[in-house]
Amino acid sequence: MTASPIAFYYGAGELQRLASYQRVVLQPDFYSPAELSRIRERGVQPLAYLSLSEDQGPLAPWQRPERNPDWGGAFVFVGHPGWVERVVGQARAALDAGFTGLFLDTLNIELTYPEDVPNLIALIAAIREVAGTAYILANRGFAMLPRLAELVDGVLFESFSARWDDAGYAPWPPDVLETHAQIAERLLEFDLDLYALDYADSEALAAFAARRASQFGLHSFVSDRALSRL
């Protein structure tokens, strides 16, 4: 059986089920070097999650006063030397532990702190230098194109067709779907692996998301909001 292209799983364990994917995005603290070795032996490429603009840790000088209302993490000054050192160190530690690549999250700062976009590009470039030829997958980050495409190997379009909010899971309204379609068509101009991550709580919504991703050349993965399903 051909392995599915990608999975996003933020739980622990499940090594047997993870083996049915080509790439898996994991929380780095949840897997030991021995477990990562077992995953790699099955032909799977584990990618370590990294947040580039939000900090879940204790109070630190790089944190902004504002926090993400959904997850509670503090927004950061992306160009702060302490933050850069922290994130680059996390990237190096993940690769040393046995991850074959990195997943870069929280890249949409053009919506919140647009003045930090150049600093974010510089941070991604620093991560690429540390990573060498290791695989790097970026979550969105469309405001950084085309420069982003020079620094990463793939782009994930999170919530391409379906989303979650306080009201539950649902497809995006038509105007948002059209905007996302235009972005997806632009992504096809670059030499990148392209993925879609959608959120659904029914077979019908999951099928809609998978079908639409395929129409735009995106490898699809559908899960719940906590990314606890495989």
- Note whether residue 42 is domain-resident: no
Which pLDDT score, from 0 to 100, does residue 70 have? 73
Q: Per residue in 207-229, pLDDT tens? A: 999 999 999 999 999 999 988 88
Mean pLDDT of the chain: 95
pLDDT, tens digit, 9 for 90 and up, residues 84-121: 999 999 999 999 999 999 999 999 999 899 999 999 99
In whole angstroms, what is the distance from residue 151 CA to residue 133 CA? 11
Position 92 in a domain:
yes
pLDDT at 2 over 90: no
Look at residue 3 in the predicted model and tell me its pLDDT. Answer: 77
176 in a structural domain: yes
What pLDDT sits at residue 165?
Answer: 83
> CB neighbours (10 Å) of residue 156?
26
Mean pLDDT to the nearest integer, 190-214: 97
For residue 4, what are its two tokens? 């599915």
Distance CA 119, CA 52 (A): 10
Residue 114 lies in a domain: yes
DSSP 2-40: PPEEEEE--SS--HHHHTTEEEEEE-GGG--HHHHHHHH
Judged against a pLDDT cut of 80, whether residue 72 lies above it is answered with no
Give whole-number Cα distances, 196 to 37, 100, 214, 216, in Å: 27, 20, 9, 10
For the segment 136-155, the average pLDDT, to the nearest whole number, is 97
Say whether 172 sits in a helix, a strand or coil.
coil
State the residue range of the domain holding 90: 51-223
Is residue 122 in a domain?
Answer: yes
Please tell me the total number of residues recorded for the chain in this structure: 230
Domain for residue 160, yes or no? yes
Count of structural domains, the chain: 1
CB 47 within 8 A of CB 103: yes
Q: Is residue 164 part of a domain?
A: yes
pLDDT at residue 149 tops 90: yes
- By percentage, how much of the chain surpasses pLDDT 90? 88
* CATH code of the domain in which 76 resides: 3.20.20.70
Q: What strands, in cross-sheet order, belong to the sheet with 74-76?
A: 54-55, 74-76, 63-67
Cis amide linkage into residue 146, ω under 30° from 0 = yes
Residue 230 located in a structural domain = no
Sign of CA dihedral 126, 104, 78, 142: positive
**2 versus 168: which is more confidently predicted?**
168
